[in-house]
Amino acid sequence: MKAVVAVFFCWGMSTVLIDSLVPKLKVLFSLGYAEVLLTQFSFFIGYLVFSVPAGQILARLGYARSIALGLAAAVSGCLLFIPATEFREFPWFLGALFVLSAGITLLQVSVNPLVMELGDSGLAHSRLTLAQAFNSLGTTLGPLIGAAVILRHATFENMDPMRWPFLGIAVIFGALSLMFWKGQHSPDLPVLRESPRGVDWQLFKKPRFAFGWSALFVYVGAEVTLGSLMTSYLIQPQVLGVSAPVAGSLVSLYWGGAMMGRFMGSWVLSRLPAHQVLGGCALGAATLVLISSLSHGHLAAGALISVGLCNSIMFPVIFSLTLEDLGGDTPQGSGLLCMAIVGGALIPLLTGALADTWGLARAFGVPVLCYFLIASFAFLQKRMVRCEHHP
């Protein structure tokens, strides 16, 4: 379990470092919001491309070898930041992020269901939320590193500082890959149940799976949108008017709220129904984004940063609620469900295009609508479960 926790931590840090790349690349290459958010598009489109193959790899190789392979692919993506910073061409950064996403996708498909299997099924929501808390620890520390190294020191003439955080993560990913490969026969690892090797698109005929897929799509899109644009939002004169490195370090509070919420949420979810907690957090997030977009100064900044606390339990609870009771279809369900993370590619692009026209505050109406859809998924849970059991 310690190695699994380390995987969550490292992939969280590697993912959130993209948030530091966004404002820096925007300045270095003189890009608009929609153009610079191609960074998030290049990373998250990988979930659409690689999720189904990842589910098939998991069904064929099992948990340990799939995780080891995913870590090795992530190492390759991190190493591609060397030529990206050497050639100083924007497409190289996009390519490095796309390859990195291949490894992270396989990790998402493999590790999340593994955590659900490692213990009492009744506590799966709580256990996955706790594991995701260590992912949030990585996303909390990542912006601090990004602000100190990438935002403060990288220039067009010297892009080397943009590679060092990713190279450090590559070393850790490589060590973890060897650890999982050597431990593939450990008796502590659950045996993956037999499942069909093809893609079972029929899962989308189940209302709870289809709605859960949509909820995960908009959740990741909203979370990535806010994290990516927060630095640019906070440096605006009508919000805080601070420098990019200061604003970038404040983004760690957004992800830190998610970390604190996941540790607390693990305890709350062991005592309250998961769908009720999810619904309350979704409505809270929508309210906070609205408050931020309609205000200015410290209130606007504080409200948006506080959304991280509401985001905290959403991914693990949506994921586990959607995969519940799939049995032998779990590997395929996990692969198809991880395709929904492509929301992190598309929704930021939509928001960025609107921000170029209307401004950031008005464009934040997109995440508000996303959170309302998540709340609908949460509060319709009981009805969907009844439909499954009594069609």
Quick check: is 239 in a domain? yes
Q: How many domains are contained in the chain?
A: 1
Specify the pLDDT at position 117. 76
Quick check: is 19 in a domain? yes
CATH number at residue 157: 1.20.1250.20
Percent of the chain with pLDDT over 70: 93
Q: Which two tokens stand for residue 227?
A: 């994290």
pLDDT tens per residue, range 122-138:
677 778 777 888 888 89
Distance between CA atoms of residues 16 and 296, nearest Å: 26
Domain that holds residue 354: 2-186+199-389
pLDDT tens per residue, range 137-183:
898 999 999 999 999 899 999 999 999 999 999 999 999 999 998 87
Specify the pLDDT at position 129. 78
* DSSP at 301: H
Return the C-alpha torsion angle 300, 305, 306, 309, nearest 10.
Answer: 160
CA–CA distance from 8 to each of 77, 136, 310 (Å)? Answer: 17, 8, 20
Q: Residue 115 — very low, low, confident or very high, per pLDDT cuts 50/70/90?
A: confident
Quick check: is 36 in a domain? yes
* 299, pLDDT greater than 80: yes
CA–CA distance from 279 to each of 123, 208, 282, 284, 364 (Å)? Answer: 19, 15, 5, 9, 20
Highest mean pLDDT among 57-66, 194-203, 350-359, 378-387: 350-359
Quick check: is 192 in a domain? no
Quick check: is 267 in a domain? yes
Quick check: is 331 in a domain? yes
pLDDT tens per residue, range 331-352:
778 778 888 999 999 999 999 9
* 390, pLDDT greater than 90: no
Quick check: is 193 in a domain? no
Quick check: is 194 in a domain? no
pLDDT tens per residue, range 53-112:
888 888 888 888 999 999 999 999 999 999 999 999 999 999 999 999 999 999 988 888
